[in-house]
Amino acid sequence: MRAPLLASDGLPEVAPVVIMWNHVRPACPSAGIGATLLALSLGVNAPGLRAQTCAAPHQMSREEILQAMSGHGAYSLTATTTSLRFGTEALLALVRRRQQQSPGSTQLFIAQSDWFAAHLATAGVAYADMSEAARAGFEHQQDILVDYGPQVVDQVVKGPMPIMSLDVTLFAPDSEGAPSNFSYRDTLSVPRVDVYNDRLIRAKVLEYDDMLVFDQVTGMSVRPMGFLSGLFAVLGKPDLKQTRIGATADHWQVMRGQVKVFPGISKTGTATIEPDGRGHEDVPPDRPDLGALKERMKRPLELRYGAPSCQARLRMLRRRGTAGSPQSGIGTAEGAR
């Protein structure tokens, strides 16, 4: 496989993409029908939304992203098994920074080129040593839209109020010939995993005092290899539904993942992750602190979420050939218990 060409900053060259925040390109008739159905489900009409001008989100600079990433703990910055924690902690730091800069703001945008460059510099490794997850996001130009503030969670039905709530949208450019999805096998993580990403991924991110919760995840499927593969042997590539991550003072992680197998049927698995990214099935018997954290992470949570923002709705309407479903309504974490 030919190595990617490197630009002057050491990053592989990618085709330039112009992001039109205030415009949705005309679609073919069938796509227009899908957009209309989605718009109706969101409570708006499609022509009106196309004509609507959404406020452009504030774009975070590469230097701001570097500063946010610099607060990471003593764990691997290049393993997929630790990347979710690393990325989320950086997002939370960016949101807090933006809240201080502009208390009335509720949205920010991160260009993938800036995110990856900051991650590469923070990790201090060569491009080839980054995880497949990080490289795939860069090569497919997955930009990030983050909505935050009181409008994300409409009501807490069960459990405590999150410290912070984010509505996150990852999206690849809507360009001619762009693939509808992509996949990769991360051989640096333990266990190895096959990951399948749609061009648009949506998730609610909830911060609690002892864990991070990723709820109502759409657009991503996973298939672990190795010791967890038996769980998925007859399931194909189930959709990731929810993940909970808790961490100890020595940077071990407890991860509880819930996948949707069939409508109304889900499965939950637990793994512990060492700081270097190596994974273990369930909790080691000589770590009672991890066992206690696992039990706390089982507590029931139930939240009602607000409607997506204008920019998020535009991104959903731009998905080709799908009507999708609005990321509003009730989110239940019972299945992860």
Number of domains in the chain: 1
Q: Please name which of 91, 205, 219 lies closest in space to residue 152, comparing C-alpha atoms.
A: 205
Beta strands in the chain (DSSP E): 58-59, 107-110, 143-148, 153-158, 164-171, 181-186, 193-207, 212-224, 239-247, 253-262, 265-273, 279-281, 302-305, 329-332
State yes or no: pLDDT of 225 exceeds 80. Answer: no
- What is the DSSP code string of 137-167? HHHTT-EEEEEESTTSEEEEEESPPPSEEEE
Question: CA 304 from chain center: how many Å?
Answer: 19
State yes or no: pLDDT of 288 exceeds 90. Answer: yes
Domain membership flag for residue 36: yes
What are 64-107's pLDDT values in tens digits? 999 999 999 999 999 878 888 999 999 999 999 999 999 999 99
> DSSP secondary-structure letter at 6?
B
The structure's pTM equals 0.74
| Structure token pair of residue 186 | 């991360």
Domain membership flag for residue 292: no
Domain membership flag for residue 298: no
State yes or no: pLDDT of 63 exceeds 90. Answer: yes
Domain membership flag for residue 100: yes
Domain membership flag for residue 40: yes
pLDDT level of residue 327 (50, 70, 90 thresholds): very low
Domain membership flag for residue 164: yes
Domain membership flag for residue 271: no
Q: What's the pLDDT at 53? A: 80
pLDDT level of residue 262 (50, 70, 90 thresholds): low
Instruction: Report the range out of 158-167, 213-222, 261-270, 312-321 with the highest average pLDDT.
Output: 158-167
pLDDT level of residue 264 (50, 70, 90 thresholds): low
Domain membership flag for residue 234: no
State yes or no: pLDDT of 309 exceeds 50. Answer: yes
State yes or no: pLDDT of 13 exceeds 80. Answer: no
CA pair distance 258, 201, nearest whole angstrom: 16
Q: What's the pLDDT at 31? A: 38
Q: What's the pLDDT at 209? A: 95
Instruction: Report the range out of 159-163, 187-191, 199-203 with the highest average pLDDT.
Output: 159-163
Lowest mean pLDDT among 130-134, 205-209, 284-288, 331-335: 331-335
57 vs 53, more confident: 57
Q: What's the pLDDT at 333? A: 40
Lowest mean pLDDT among 103-112, 233-242, 279-288: 233-242
State yes or no: pLDDT of 277 exceeds 70. Answer: yes
Q: What's the pLDDT at 215? A: 92
State yes or no: pLDDT of 2 exceeds 60. Answer: no
CA pair distance 176, 296, nearest whole angstrom: 47
Q: What percent of the chain has pLDDT over 90?
A: 47
State yes or no: pLDDT of 172 exceeds 80. Answer: yes
CA pair distance 310, 318, nearest whole angstrom: 12
Domain extent at residue 170: 29-219+303-336
What are 18-30's pLDDT values in tens digits? 222 333 333 333 3
> Mean pLDDT of all residues in the chain?
76
